[in-house]
Amino acid sequence: AERTYIMIKPDGVQRGIVGNIISRFETKGYKLVAMKTKQASQELLDTHYCDLVEKPFFPKLRDYMMSGPVCCMVWEGKEAVVTGRKMLGATNPLASEPGTIRGDFCIEVGRNICHGSDSVENANKEIALWFEESELVDWESHSKDWIYE
């Protein structure tokens, strides 16, 4: 089954939005495969955001991402990557639709609460970057026949 890497950024943790975000993925029907809090290192962020390191805003992005703990999660289910992105909303929160996480909880792109993988390929890379294989739990949800036909 498809997996995506969802990370609640330091502002989401500090503002107490962790539970709400977990609840949205849970009630959607996705399965929680791994979760932990972590203090991100510079090295980890340089790898995670390797496509953005040359951007002028990157130093600020890295400071933001290191300003407190992040909450790292792996969610699994049908089309989890593209649906996870929809649930997060547009990158710029003022353009995010109400009902999305960013649309409901934040205002600025530099404080946009959460990260979601943008492709299956990147999801697999990010999961391998942030988690040890042994931290990913393979389990069967008792709700699966009520979520999938």
Euclidean distance between CA atoms 64 and 30, whole angstroms: 28
Report d(CA 66, CA 59) in Å as an integer. 11
Binding residues among 83-142 for Mg ion as defined by CB under 5 A? 118
d(CA 25, CA 22): 5
Phi and psi at 74, nearest 5°, equal: -120, 125
**Which sign, positive or negative, has the C-alpha torsion 106, 62, 120, 70?**
negative
* Residue 91 contact partner, candidates Mg ion, ligand GTP, none, CB within 5 to 8 A by sort of partner: ligand GTP
Check the annotation: does 102 bind a ligand. Answer: yes
Select the residue interacting with ligand GTP from 37, 41, 57, 147 (CB under 6 A). Answer: 57
Which residue in 74, 115, 116, 123 is the catalytic one?
Answer: 115
For the question of residue 115 being annotated catalytic, the response is yes
Look at residue 143 and give the partner it binds from Mg ion, ligand GTP, none, a contact being a CB closer than 5 to 8 Å depending on partner kind.
Answer: none
- The residues annotated as belonging to the active site are 115
Instruction: State the binding site for ATP.
Output: 9, 57, 85, 91, 102, 112
